Amino acid sequence: MKIKVIVTLKEGVLDPQGKAIQQTLNGMGFSSVNQVRQGKYFDVEVDDSDETKAKEKVEDMCKKLLANLVIEDYKII
Partner 1 sequence: MKSSVIIFPGSNCDRDMDVALKKFGFKNKMVWHDDNELPKSDLIVLPGGFSYGDYLRCGSIAGKSNIIKSVIKFAQSGGLVLGICNGFQILTETGLLPGILQQNKNIEFICKNVHVKVADKSNKYFKNIKKEILELHIAHNEGNYFCSNNDLKFLEDNNQIAVKYCNAKGNCNLESNPNGALKNIAGVFNKEKNILGMMPHPERMIDKYLSGEDGALFFQNLIGNLG
Residues 31, 25 contacting (CB under 8 angstroms):
no
| Residue 49 beta carbon to partner 1: minimum distance, rounded to whole angstroms | 27
A 10 A CB-CB count for 22 gives 18
CB of 27 to partner 1, least distance (A): 16
Distance CA 34, CA 23 (A): 9
50 versus 68: smaller Cβ distance to partner 1? 68
Which residues of the shown chain bind partner 1 in the complex (CB under 8 A)? 13-14, 16-17, 20, 65-66, 68, 70-71
> Rounded distance, CA 29 to CA 39, Å?
23
Question: Taking the complex as a whole, how short is the minimal distance between the CB of residue 9 and partner 1, in angstroms?
Answer: 9
Q: Which is nearer to partner 1, 33 or 69 (CB)?
A: 69
Question: What's 13's DSSP letter?
Answer: S
